[in-house]
Structure 1
Amino acid sequence: MFKTFRRMSKSSIGTVIIVLVGLMILAGFAIGDLQGLGGGARLNSTTLAKVGSLELTDQDASSAMQRRLAQVREQNPEATYATIAADFDPLMANLIDERSLRAFAEQQGFVISKRLVDAEIAQLPGVRGLNGQVSQDSYNAFLARQRMTDAELRTLVTASLLERLLVTPAASSPQISVGVATPYASMLLEQREGQVAFVPLSLFAAGLNPTDAQLQQYYQSVRSRYMVPEQRVLKIAEIGPDQVNVAATPQEIEAYYKSRQADYAARDIRSLSQAVVPDQKVAAGIAQRARAGQAFAQAAAPAGLGADDVALGDQTRADFADVAGDAVAAQAFSAQQGAIIGPVQSSLGWHVIKVDSVKTQSGKTLAQARDEIAAAISKEKQQSALGTLVDRVQDAIDDGANFDQAAKAANLTVVTTPLVTATGASRTDAAYKLPETLVPALKSGFELAPTDDPVIEQLGDDGRFALVAPAQVVSAAPAPLASIRDQVRRDWITKTASDQAMALAKSIGAKASGKTSLADAVKASGRQLPPIGPMRARRIQLTQGGEQVPAPLRALFSTASGKTQVGALQEAPGFFIVKVDKIIPGNALNQPGLISSVQKEFQQPLAQEYGDQFLAAVRESVKVRRNEEAIAAAKKRITSGE
């Protein structure tokens, strides 16, 4: 709703603070246009901005764009710096505002402690290891995945905390008066009437047939539109179970069985209930009630124990000893079924135990366990052999071997792909599909430089690996005209027809902007256009339609009475001409509910405006100086991939 007000009234109620959320960028504020402050010494060519005593360097911008590209590539593996060129300016604003807050906090003696930063880092997704704990290894792995140093991450987390502690309070709970909200509510009730005409592209596309010279000229003017992403020929050698031939020997099976006789022998299994309490008298009371015939759970209930607390289920002696200790387990496994044992003391407290049932689990002979043992030994040997093979291949690479030498020495089978993109698709062979098992190797294959050593990539959780290296790299470049001639021809026809249709629509719009009716202007064009349609709506319909509001309806409410507006239609290729015939003002005085709704709608944008103004004051306080020449050079260098 607020966007509609901004478009129609061009009020000065602030621009929106855009908060960029993600693992790559943990804090930032896109806050309109930053005004460079003059004066002071000239900044050097590698310093993009000076914020108080802090500098923003060319390397800082490069690192931020590199992290942004890595983030985008998670969804679009073929993305390049050109793809994210539009992100450069917002990222620059983020970096300057981050330094502005840090400089302001330092200026005011507002300190973010290391302990607070550590606590924030510990909450980031991906920092904890598989055991759910933060360790130095898990933290280092997180930093490696994000391509960040510890200092860079701490800087971003500090900025996020400063935003939360300084900016958020300044923007909290803004109040909008009825007097401010009422005119906007009345605007929502405004009604407009008009007409719309349509100029379709198909009217001009028929009969267009470009010459070779026209196609060549058009292609040269829009070559970047036909960019083919980087392609590579990859060499991949899988290292898996097929590369190691191992099997359990009879001697190994027999030795395994003997070393684990307790696992294969007959076992005494007992279903137990147990209550553990710190006081001997309480334990004695439980035992007395249980021996008197009460169900064990009922006997333990006065001590605050529930049925789930006392039921242990089936236990072996070893299992129960791990829980209760050897002395308690010895008594429990020497008693008869139904017996109540205890109170017995251990380091845990006083135990009362009931033997609910006793059964014997038959063991397995060597012959019965042979297949099971053979599978276990083979798997263990296979994992060990694979580890040894991977180490041998890595050692060869470390000693200077190239891909072919390392693969040959390890007797690995090499798969060579055709030219493929980062998605694994081949532009020259539409039927080609990289085997699913090798897909994880794509990422490394496209990250390696042609001169880098080959790398070993884990293919999955089943112990398979792959040696991977690029064999050929074809940089991103426009596709040759000959290979996309039909597509370029279609695009030329569309562009030419669009230019002609737009020229006609503008001509009709110019004639109809005044006393001439839209119908007369269309008739004067000499073209047979679709029938003119009437339009009638209230402005509130714009807010109800969200982003799905038709462009002609938006034009109806952004054009003065008696004037016209020309625009493009995406859903039906062509151009529309809207003329506003009548504007009927709205009156919200009799609709207090609508006024209240507008007050609520304004709260969030106004909070964002307050935050915007606070940050503007912070920038003014710390004196931001921008090196526009260096910023432009950095943008050109980074986004062009130079």
Structure 2
Amino acid sequence: MKTFRRLSKSKFGTGILILFLLLILASFAVADIANFSTGGGSLPQNTLAKVGKVELTAAELDQAMQRRLTQVRQQNPQATYADLAGDFDAIVDALIQERTLWAYARKHGFTVSKKLVDAEIVKIPGTRGLDGRFSQAAYEAFLQQQRLTDTQLRREIETALLQRLVIAPVATNARLGQGVARPYADLLLEQRTGSLALVPFAAYTAGPAPTDAELQAFYRQNVQRYTVPERRAFRIARITDEQLGNIAATDQEIAAYYQQNQATYGGVERRVISRATLPDQAAVAAIAQRAKAGGTFAAAAAPAGFTASDVSVGPQTRAELAAKTGEAVAAQVFAAPAGAVIGPVQSSTGFDVIKVESIQAAGGRSLADVRGEIAAKLTADKRKNALADLVTKVEDGLASGRTFEEVTTAERLPVLTTPPLTRAGGAFDQPAFKLPPDYAAVPGASFDLGVDDDPIVEPLPNEAGYVLVDVTDVVPPAPAPLARIADQVRSDFIGRRAMDRANAAATQVLAAINRGTPMAEAVAALNQSGVRPPEAIDLRRGALSQFAQQGQEIPPPLRIFFTLAPGKAQRAAGPSGIYLVKLDKVVPGNAAGNPQLIASELTSLQRSASEELALQWLNAAQKELGVERNEAAIRAARSRIIGGSVAQ
């Protein structure tokens, strides 16, 4: 099920936009949790883990992986499940964390009321009708558009609310002393000097052309590398508003919407008022008497202890005033002329006396002025609803037993037939074939369908409509013929040979450095064209933080440089060659004269402490509840979802 596709584009209200799964993934360092039992022999095959009485099933993991892939495709439409290999274990752990929260809440009687969930649902703009209010029809259309059921949406909202109500209070307001931050600040100012050299692979590509025998042997040894992954041929029928014909807002609908939204288009009368409120009716009556006798309201209220700023309320709509005083008082004020003094009257806060200082008449726009704006909005909404109805009609037709051909013919849907495609959308047998850009995500999203499965409806990105997808053929994984990929195998052979030679050269240089030979001399001894002399490094440890700020990993040679002891050298593999790193000198840092750095580190440590508190709470909850993992089922799920999903 594609339950949360495009859901990140919806507006849920505070706290609902962030899925609990990703919140855990980002904030609680789930990979550090190790108090799981690793048995699983007593769990059903489709149960991956169990926390207390709450299970994590294979189907729920599938939904989470689909959700994550949808998010990744917002940045990279060509992404496949293979690109999530590094996320798999963390997502499994995050889901177990979520089950921990649910199990703990159930055991200890924490409940999220239906009323609280309903309050979050009505905040979703997609659940509102043309009058701006919650509409059951709009809600059902929203669920259909987002590929959700009411139960699934409520589950996500309840999870987010539990996180907010149970875990957040544990993790907030962690406080540490400045003395804790000082050593970390000192460490950031640590200065290191040394040398860095690169033995590039490109320097070792020269050599005799590989023989046929060498290529065949290399191909056999790396046949998995040249295996074309499983492919599927699709029929894709587009469902867009192009099939809807002429749909437009009527004059009656435009006029009705204008009347229902007078607060927006017609303008609202405001009244500038002064107000004094006290529990003593007699004191309020005295203020009213002085105000009616003449002079300013502030002067009339001053003997009762009010200042001018106390009594000045400013412009108020009737609704705003009613929220302060009650509807009965607001009705009197908005029925009175400018200059009138009303009171004493009983309000929701005591006894009031109110003076209408001035009246600001409503200054809205006429129906003629906003007709085009309203027509565009209503027409867009009607076409959106009509498209949802068409999708429902297509799905109902399939559910009733109609075939792909029957449905597409009846609804006049244009159909594209593809050659066998990989999950990434590549056509190995027809390299020139390209899917339309809107369809780029279709193969990956529908790749688990089989020939015998019913067609499914998938949404297109950027609200471009939907497609009905049917699988017509499945081609199992198979090695590509050597004759067809000979150029690629030859290039890979030469590249592997260059890597082996560069590795041997780097090993030679590192051995010489560790025997005491200066790095520049050891590199020069290679006498290899393309290998440059080493460069000096002079860095503070704090410079590494720029990589984290830019969302980048620290380059391996720099990571090694800040772990070495003075006089030591080490190697690090890079994409273009082998790095050799040597540390010569370390100057300890001293942050005594840099209070801003200490304060910054203190803030960072307090944030980490909050995350640690949340993690420790989850650890304690898991120890109390008991956690059982079905490792065999988890490995099988990984193989099914990630394994063999090579992007080509």
TM-score by length of 2: 0.64
Corresponding residue for residue 351 of structure 2: none
Aligned pair in 2 of structure 1 residues 581, 414: CA closer, same or farther (>3 Å)? closer
Distance 1:166 1:562, change over 3 A: same
Q: 1:194 to 1:24 in 2, by over 3 A?
A: closer
Separation of aligned partners in 2, 1:453 and 1:180: 61
Q: Which residue in the other structure is 1:640 paired with?
A: 643
Is residue 163 from structure 1 mapped to residue 163 from structure 2 by the alignment?
yes
Q: What is the alpha-carbon distance in structure 2 between the residues aligned to residue 405 and residue 188 of structure 1? A: 68
Q: Map of 1:332-411 to 2, 5 A cutoff?
A: 402-403=403-404
1:435-493 per-position Cα deviation (integer Å, ceiling 9, x unaligned): 78999998998786534566799999999998875555546766544433323322332
Give the aligned partner of residue 490 of structure 1. 491
Number of the residue aligned with 2:65 = 65
**Amino acid of the structure 2 residue aligned with 1:531:** P
Q: Does the residue aligned with 2:609 lie in a helix, a strand or coil?
A: helix
Aligned partner of 2:589 among 577, 586, 590 = 586
Q: Which runs of 5+ in 2 are unaligned?
A: 1-14, 247-265, 271-317, 319-330, 340-354, 372-386
Q: Which moved more, 1:136-145 or 1:500-509?
A: 136-145
Distance (whole Å) between structure 2 residues aligned to residue 433 and residue 543 of structure 1? 42
Structure 2 match to 1:197? 197
Q: Which residue of 1 aligns with 2:95?
A: 95
Matched, 1:306 2:360: yes
For the Cα contact (< 8 Å) 1:24–1:146, is it kept in 2?
no
Q: 1:145 to 1:473 in 2, by over 3 A?
A: farther
1:561 alignment partner in structure 2: 566
Supply the distance in 2 between the matched residues of 1:549 and 1:149 (Cα, whole angstroms).
Answer: 43
User: How many residues are matched?
Assistant: 518
Counting only pairs closer than 5 Å after superposition, residues 130-145 of structure 1 correspond to structure 2 as: 133-144=133-144
| 1:51 aligned partner | 51
Matched residues in 2 for 1:42 and 1:531: separation?
A: 61
Q: How far 1:187 moved relative to its partner?
A: 1.7
The residue that corresponds to 1:613 in the other structure is: 616
Whether the aligned pair in 2 keeps the contact of 1:188 and 1:586 (CA below 8 Å) is yes
Where do 1:432-581 residues align within 5 Å? Answer: 449-451=450-452, 469-474=470-475, 479-513=480-514, 515-525=516-526, 527=528, 529-544=531-546, 546=548, 547=552, 551-570=556-575, 573-581=576-584
Inter-CA distance 110–416: structure 2 relative to 1 (3 Å threshold): closer
Q: Is the 8 A contact 1:27 1:159 kept in 2?
A: no
**Aligned counterparts of 1:455 and 1:235: Cα–Cα separation in 2:** 10
Corresponding residue of 1:266 = none
Match of 2:306 in 1: none
Q: What residue ranges of structure 1 are gaps of 5+ in the alignment?
A: 1-18, 247-271, 287-300, 320-385
Q: The residue matched to 1:34 in structure 2 has which SS? A: coil
- The residue aligned with 1:154 is 154
Instruction: Say if 1:211 and 1:35 are closer, same or farther in 2 by CA, change over 3 A.
Output: farther
Distance 1:522 1:27, change over 3 A: closer
Aligned-pair distance for 1:140?
Answer: 4.2
Superposed CA offset, 1:228-252 (max 9, x none): 67453536599998999x9xxxxxx
**CA separation in 2, counterparts of 1:629 and 1:34?**
17
Alpha-carbon distance in structure 1 between the residues aligned to 2:491 and 2:16? 38
The alpha-carbon deviation at position 404 of structure 1 amounts to 5.1
Counterpart of 1:187 in structure 2 is 187
Provide the C-alpha distance between the structure 1 equivalents of 2:267 and 2:120, rounded to a whole number of angstroms.
44
- 1:326-347 Cα shifts (integer Å, max 9, x gaps): xxxxxxxxxxxxxxxxxxxxxx
What is the identity, as a one-letter code, of the residue corresponding to 1:87?
D
Partner of 1:84: 84
Calculate percent identity across the aligned residue pairs: 39
Distance in 2 of aligned mates of 1:579 and 1:156: 51
1:600 maps to what in 2? 603
RMSD across aligned positions (CA): 5.3
Task: Note the C-alpha offset of 1:389.
Answer: 12
Q: 1:423 to 1:641 in 2, by over 3 A?
A: closer
Alpha-carbon distance in structure 1 between the residues aligned to 2:161 and 2:241: 47
- State the SS of the aligned residue for 1:599: helix
Matched to 1:616, the amino acid is N
Indicate the larger mover: 107-116 or 150-159: 150-159
Alignment check: 8 A CA contact 1:238 1:467 kept: yes
Could you tell me which amino acid in structure 1 is paired with residue 110 of structure 2?
F
CA contact (8 A) 2:236 2:467 kept: no
Distance 1:186-1:203 versus aligned 2 partners, 3 A rule: same
Q: Give the residue type in structure 1 aligned to 2:616.
A: Q
Bigger CA radius of gyration: 1
Provide Cα deviations, 1:551-594, integer angstroms capped at 9, x if missing partner.
54443222111111212344xx2122111112222222333333
Distance 1:441 1:48 in 2: 28
Q: What SS does the aligned partner of 1:543 have?
A: helix
Counterpart Cα distance in 1 of 2:418 and 2:452: 19
Secondary structure class of the residue paired with 2:503: helix
